[in-house]
Structure 1
């Protein structure tokens, strides 16, 4: 029996970095439109090149979710498939994956395909992928595996911080004066994902040290972090990610903190120096 995990490219886990053994893994890429240029969010995408193009482009950039056919193709290559997508409240990717599942099952009704809305992105999706790998390796009833993954998804949390607001300004989500003022004062916006998968602005902090302390306080308030696995995704900001990791290990009784560079979709929204925490 061939088992496979599929995700859209907002998971930040590159296919080349997945050590799956007998479990296959594939990301279905989103597309990023910056002016006249289109970037495919696959393993080959160079993030500095994307960020440079976004900085030079005066008009708003946009994203496009994968087609149902792209998901159907990924699903058809295995007997058992678990698929994770970015929050359905942020993108049409989940709906595309569900349609792709229906297309695949129409041709191959014997297959077992589960599509789960992560209600998050980035690190939380990486944690889901790794839990799915362990469960698929262990075998057992497929519906039970999917039920366990949905319970695990509900227990995960996501928060993030931004200090570059250019994309928000260009897309009309922040007034230019506000963005300039925040940047000049060194103020970081801190937000988290709601249980429904929408974004909630939790606060603002001035300076790196205060920002990281505010993030760990938010993490502590959101759930019991004892023994939690944490994934920090960073957009071209390894030094900041290392400092945040140090703060998390100092303030919280977590099991581990892993650092992962952002792929295209999360870089598109987090912008340079953005940090996204899944736990």
Structure 2
């Protein structure tokens, strides 16, 4: 196998990606009360959401160790790429870079590159697919890195959540001042900054209006949608995600659409009913 792509488990893999043999997950883990949950194929979203609903405490996540990444790089593939959660939101990127350094000390030289997604969830999925597209097109290692970094620069992440409590309690909303009182049912429309932090793009009363406002933001922000894949992930709300997809496709014409249920870390932050859109 000439190449391998490791995606930390905040990024969801499609069934095709799982079958291809080129993609592997580096699992984060989640602790809530006395429960330790590994974010891998054993993750049970419904049980996890029930644990959160019952608990007075906020769940906490842990990133993969540098050693876990190092072992992921130790394989037959000549070129290995890692895609991680935004370095501004998690230690996963630093861990992957440390793992690369450990690999080079332990096993010698190999072409390894770690991409800071500056996103999360399906943002990572799209970056991993872009790497595979570049590899399949026969690009050399440096060209893949250059092309994918350019793609990351152009990528935009948007989300509307029923609650921002987990993000807030875990310190992921630094610098965001205008989060409105939940008593008014104000739902902020959130997005990613070019640096990979979270910003507020707007707000609306009620989830439907917030989703409509998010769709406006997506449509206004996207350049050359016909050349891009639209990715939507949802936490336990397939009908809502389908509606968002339909509303977006009425206004833009992407080359493909991916619709996925959130894995563990994305479920933790998106919370029940959350929607994430990346294009």
TM-score normalised by the chain length of structure 2: 0.90
Partners of 2:238 and 2:261 lie apart in 1 by 8
Q: Which residue of 2 aligns with 1:154?
A: 153
1:102 deviates by 0.9
The question of 1:51 aligning with 2:49 is answered yes
4+ residue segments displaced more than 4 Å = 168-174, 178-181
Deviation by residue 1:120-147 (Cα, 9 ceiling, x = unmatched): 0111111111111122223332111111
1:71 deviates by 0.3
Q: Which residue of 2 aligns with 1:257?
A: 257
Q: Which residue of 1 aligns with 2:266?
A: 266
- Indicate conservation of the 8 Å contact 1:216/1:252, yes or no: no
- Indicate conservation of the 8 Å contact 2:69/2:99, yes or no: yes
The question of 1:84 aligning with 2:83 is answered yes
Query: What's the Cα RMSD here?
Result: 2.2
Q: Which residue of 2 aligns with 1:98?
A: 97
1:210 deviates by 2.0
Unpaired runs of 5+ in structure 1? Answer: none
Partners of 1:212 and 1:180 lie apart in 2 by 16
- Indicate conservation of the 8 Å contact 1:167/1:269, yes or no: yes
TM-score normalised by the chain length of structure 1: 0.90
Partners of 1:68 and 1:54 lie apart in 2 by 28
The question of 1:230 aligning with 2:230 is answered yes
Alignment length, in residue pairs? 273
Partners of 1:255 and 1:209 lie apart in 2 by 26
1:17 deviates by 4.7
Partners of 2:199 and 2:46 lie apart in 1 by 28
- Indicate conservation of the 8 Å contact 2:179/2:188, yes or no: no
Q: Structure 1 residues 131, 170: closer, same or farther in 2, change over 3 A?
A: closer
Q: Which residue of 2 aligns with 1:68?
A: 66
Partners of 2:165 and 2:243 lie apart in 1 by 24
Partners of 1:112 and 1:256 lie apart in 2 by 30
